[in-house]
């Protein structure tokens, strides 16, 4: 038997008898009505709830992101919440196309205080709730199903009685059977039907039924069943906006909200980056950008996700986990060498495509640029990285285009350093390793003096062009005067070394490119030497002349031995 045997302590929750469920074949085709609950559900879960000024700044951020419905608080619960609501109204901070929402329990004194708080708002959503699950009925309220239903009806009656006909036009009702996820589905429908009847909701004056997974206690498919069942059984579906409010206790809040949209939900409540009670509310950014990544306009603006994340952290004091989808620090970073290689190739291929070509870069779910993130951080080097990553950084950040055949040699020295450091290496460190390895080694050979002369001669009536290379070198501490002819500077220098104890070699690869611009242009040469014993060595040289860069590269290669 397993050591963690749940026995009879836990069991399946919420299975719903469904005859012909439709949602598994549905598709998400448009954004729902989004409602941010950051300033209420998110706020109530903070170690230090936000003050009025912070809430005002957060409200402005939510408006900028594009939320048209924003739950701003629980005005009857504290002076701060009340004052915040009043300031929004009195300082005319609510844009015409934004509706503020206030939460209130179905209790007369609280309803009255809440209505006082929203007086003068151009339009508002009054969000009434009471708990309906068996455990809440039994332990918290010690009331019957009928009595619990009456609490909801009385709440609606109270709101109606406090409003003039004129005021009623500007107020919409949202009702939440709180703890819906643990409530018997038929009973939840019964309570909502009673609420709808009491308020007098119609097709033109819809009521919002918010069906929360107050505690996420079942798998997302069961939540989708609950939403579809509710939609099919509520007495007047036309008069209802079905809203979801998913918490994340099982870590499947995003999936629940998405499947609920398939099941017919019209509206989605959630918080930026999933803040909220316990494991949080639905991460609304995640759902919106999931839509974006499937070609659907999310109707929210996350083009500067990093800026939004920074403000969120400042206002709430909450950190963002580095692997949070889209916003986490590491989500556009590849550590594995094969991932880096595939990304590099995918990116290179895109440079030849049309601007709006379908995104298909391996390992990058979306184009980081779309949400204001950068390609620069994509490749980092640690001991798990392959040869391609370091070469990519040298090319991307330093303009050094190492031949592919040299990548393993570079990868080996970089990997050894990453192993030694036991951490990720920064871009500059990678360049320093490269420089030390190929420009900094002087133990075997150094040039003290060198000249090349272009020689034109005739042999058997044929014009011959050769280069004469003369100079003084040091091999392992001993000086040698060298001089020899060759087809070019590289060839002549290689031949001239024949008179020294340096190992005999042939140049088996040569690549060069220019680097820099204008008067700062230099040549970079990469050579591969194959020695008599079969060993191969890469060298790199830099000079204002291609010939000299090649000679420097030979010297660099001989210093690798
Ligand atoms: O999670 C919940 O049930 C709530 C309600 C007040 C809607 O936050
Ligand atoms: Zn909640």
Q: What is the DSSP string of 513-532?
A: EEES-GGG-EEEEEEEEEET
- For residues 105 and 130, the answer to whether their CB atoms sit within 8 Å is yes
Query: How far apart (Å, rounded) are the C-alpha atoms in residues 173 and 27?
Result: 29
Q: Kindly give the residue spans of alpha helices, DSSP state H, lying in 70-184.
A: 79-90, 108-117, 134-135, 145-162, 165-169
Q: DSSP label at 48?
A: S
Nearest Cα residue to atom 5 of ligand 1: 178
Structural domain total, the chain: 3
Q: Does residue 212 have its Cβ closer than 6 Å to ligand 1?
A: yes
Nearest Cα residue to atom 4 of ligand 1: 214
Among 40, 76, 129, name the best residue to mutate to test ligand 1's pocket (greatest count of ligand atoms within 8 A of Cβ).
Answer: 129
Q: Does residue 178 have its Cβ closer than 6 Å to ligand 1?
A: yes
pLDDT of residue 319: 97
Which of residues 316, 349, 371 is at a domain's end? 316
236, 256: one domain: yes
Over residues 522-537, the pLDDT tens digits come to 999 999 999 999 999 9
Q: Is residue 16 part of a domain?
A: no
Q: Does residue 210 have its Cβ closer than 6 Å to ligand 1?
A: yes
Question: Residue 518: pLDDT band by 50, 70, 90 thresholds?
Answer: confident
Q: Quick one: how many helices (H) and strands (E) in the chain?
A: 18, 14
- Look at residue 254 and tell me whether its pLDDT is greater than 70: yes
Q: Is residue 322 part of a domain?
A: no
Q: Is residue 181 part of a domain?
A: yes
Q: Does residue 387 have its Cβ closer than 6 Å to ligand 1?
A: no
- CA distance readout (Å), 107 to 191, 318, 347, 409: 16, 32, 59, 74
92, 112: one domain: yes
Residue 194 Cα to ligand 2 midpoint, Å, equals 23
Residue 309 Cα to ligand 2 midpoint, Å, equals 21
297, 393: one domain: no
374, 512: one domain: no
Q: Does residue 214 have its Cβ closer than 6 Å to ligand 1?
A: yes
Ligand closest in space to the Cα of 210: 1
Residue with tokens 């009456």: 150
248, 396: one domain: no
Q: Is residue 1 part of a domain?
A: no
Residue with tokens 């603006």: 301
Over residues 2-21, the pLDDT tens digits come to 799 998 999 989 899 999 99
Question: Residue 179: pLDDT band by 50, 70, 90 thresholds?
Answer: very high
pLDDT of residue 376: 55
Q: Is residue 534 part of a domain?
A: yes
Domain limits for position 344: 337-436
Over residues 478-504, the pLDDT tens digits come to 999 999 999 999 999 999 999 999 999
Average pLDDT, the chain: 94
Q: Is residue 12 part of a domain?
A: no
Contacts of 250 (CB under 8 A, 6+ apart): 216, 217, 218, 219
Among 41, 173, 274, 276, name the best residue to mutate to test ligand 1's pocket (greatest count of ligand atoms within 8 A of Cβ).
Answer: 41
Phi, psi angle pair for 42, to nearest 5° = -60, -45
Query: How far apart (Å, rounded) are the C-alpha atoms in residues 455 and 179?
Result: 93
Over residues 204-222, the pLDDT tens digits come to 999 999 999 999 999 999 9
- Report which of 374, 346, 349 is spatially closest to residue 362, judged by C-alpha positions: 346
- Look at residue 465 and tell me whether its pLDDT is greater than 90: no
Over residues 120-141, the pLDDT tens digits come to 999 999 999 999 999 999 999 9
351, 484: one domain: no
Among 103, 213, 244, 281, name the best residue to mutate to test ligand 1's pocket (greatest count of ligand atoms within 8 A of Cβ).
Answer: 103
pLDDT of residue 463: 76
pLDDT of residue 424: 82
CATH number of the domain enclosing 486 = 3.30.160.270
Phi, psi angle pair for 47, to nearest 5° = -60, -45
What percentage of the chain has pLDDT greater than the value 70?
99
- Look at residue 375 and tell me whether its pLDDT is greater than 70: no
543, 405: one domain: no
What percentage of the chain has pLDDT greater than the value 90?
85
Query: How far apart (Å, rounded) are the C-alpha atoms in residues 430 and 306?
Result: 27
Q: Please, what's the b/e burial string for 398-411 (b: 16 or more CB within 10 A of its CB; e: otherwise)?
A: eebebbeebbebbb
77, 166: one domain: yes
- For residues 132 and 180, the answer to whether their CB atoms sit within 8 Å is yes
Retrieve residue 303's tokens: 């083009």
Ligand closest in space to the Cα of 277: 2
Which of residues 419, 436, 453 is at a domain's end? 436
Q: Is residue 328 part of a domain?
A: no
Retrieve residue 455's tokens: 């020689």
Ligand closest in space to the Cα of 214: 1
Nearest Cα residue to atom 1 of ligand 1: 214
Summarize the confidence of residues 253-259 as an average pLDDT. 98
247, 224: one domain: yes
277, 345: one domain: no
255, 396: one domain: no
Helix, coil or strand: residue 480: strand
**DSSP-derived pairing of the beta strands 267-270 and 240-246:** parallel
Query: How far apart (Å, rounded) are the C-alpha atoms in residues 117 and 466?
Result: 94
Query: How far apart (Å, rounded) are the C-alpha atoms in residues 18 and 519?
Result: 77
Q: Does residue 180 have its Cβ closer than 6 Å to ligand 1?
A: no
Which of residues 316, 349, 370 is at a domain's end? 316
- For residues 85 and 117, the answer to whether their CB atoms sit within 8 Å is yes
- For residues 265 and 227, the answer to whether their CB atoms sit within 8 Å is yes
349, 455: one domain: no
Beta bridge partners of 71: 101
- Look at residue 1 and tell me whether its pLDDT is greater than 80: no
Q: Is residue 2 part of a domain?
A: no
Question: Residue 387: pLDDT band by 50, 70, 90 thresholds?
Answer: confident
Over residues 319-349, the pLDDT tens digits come to 999 999 999 999 998 887 788 888 889 999 9
- Look at residue 22 and tell me whether its pLDDT is greater than 70: yes
């Amino acid at each position: 038997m397993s050591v963690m045997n749940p026995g009879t302590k836990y069991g399946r929750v919420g299975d719903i008898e469904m005859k012909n469920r439709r949602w598994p074949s549905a598709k998400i085709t448009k954004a729902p009505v989004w409602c941010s609950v950051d300033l209420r559900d998110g706020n109530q879960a903070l170690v230090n709830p936000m003050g009025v000024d912070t809430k005002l700044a957060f409200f402005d951020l939510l408006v900028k992101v594009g939320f048209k419905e924003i739950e701003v608080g629980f005005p009857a619960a504290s002076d701060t919440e009340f004052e915040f609501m009043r300031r929004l109204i009195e300082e005319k901070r609510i844009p015409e196309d934004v509706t503020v929402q206030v939460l209130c329990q179905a209790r007369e004194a609280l309803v009255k205080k809440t209505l006082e708080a929203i007086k003068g708002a151009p339009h508002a959503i009054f969000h009434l709730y009471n708990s309906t699950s068996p455990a809440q009925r039994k332990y918290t309220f010690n009331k019957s199903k009928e009595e619990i239903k009456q609490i909801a009806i009385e709440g609606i009656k109270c709101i109606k009685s406090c409003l003039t006909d004129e005021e009623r036009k500007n107020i919409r009702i949202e009702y939440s059977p709180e703890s819906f996820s643990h409530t018997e589905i038929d009973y939840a429908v019964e309570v909502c039907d009673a609420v709808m009847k009491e308020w007098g909701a119609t097709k033109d004056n819809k009521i919002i039924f918010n069906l929360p997974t107050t505690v996420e206690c079942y798998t997302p498919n069961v939540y989708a069943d609950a939403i579809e069942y509710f939609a099919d059984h509520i007495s007047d579906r036309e008069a209802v906006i079905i809203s979801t409010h998913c918490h994340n206790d099982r870590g499947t809040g995003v999936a629940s909200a998405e499947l609920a949209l398939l099941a017919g939900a019209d509206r989605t409540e959630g918080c930026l980056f999933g803040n909220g009670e316990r494991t949080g509310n639905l991460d609304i950014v995640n759902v919106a950008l999931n839509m974006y990544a499937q070609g659907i306009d999310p109707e929210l603006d996350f083009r500067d996700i990093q800026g939004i994340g920074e403000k969120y952290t400042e206002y709430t004091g909450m950190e963002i986990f580095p692997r949070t989808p889209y916003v986490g620090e590491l989500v556009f970073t590849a550590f594995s060498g094969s991932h880096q290689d595939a990304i590099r190739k995918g990116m290179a291929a895109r440079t030849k495509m049309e601007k709006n070509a379908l995104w298909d870069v391996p390992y990058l779910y979306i184009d980081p640029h779309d949400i204001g993130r950068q390609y620069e951080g994509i490749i980092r080097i640690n001991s798990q990285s392959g040869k391609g990553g370091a070469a990519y950084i040298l090319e991307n950040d330093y303009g050094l285009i190492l031949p592919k055949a040299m990548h393993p040699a570079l990868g080996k020295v970089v990997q050894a350093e990453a192993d030694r450091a036991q951490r990720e290496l920064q871009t500059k460190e990678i360049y320093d390793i490269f420089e030390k390895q190929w420009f900094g080694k002087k133990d075997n050979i150094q040039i003290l003096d060198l000249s090349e002369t272009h020689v034109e001669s005739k042999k058997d009536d044929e014009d011959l062009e050769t280069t004469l290379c003369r100079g003084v070198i040091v091999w392992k501490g001993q000086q040698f005067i060298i001089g020899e002819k060759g087809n070019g500077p590289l060839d002549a220098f290689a031949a001239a070394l024949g008179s020294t104890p340096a190992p005999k070699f042939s140049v088996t690869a040569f690549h060069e490119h220019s680097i820099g611009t204008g008067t700062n242009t230099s040549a970079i040469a990469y050579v591969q030497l194959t020695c008599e014993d079969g060993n191969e060595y890469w060298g790199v040289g830099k000079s204002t002349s291609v010939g000299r860069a090649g000679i420097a590269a030979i010297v660099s290669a001989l210093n690798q031995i």
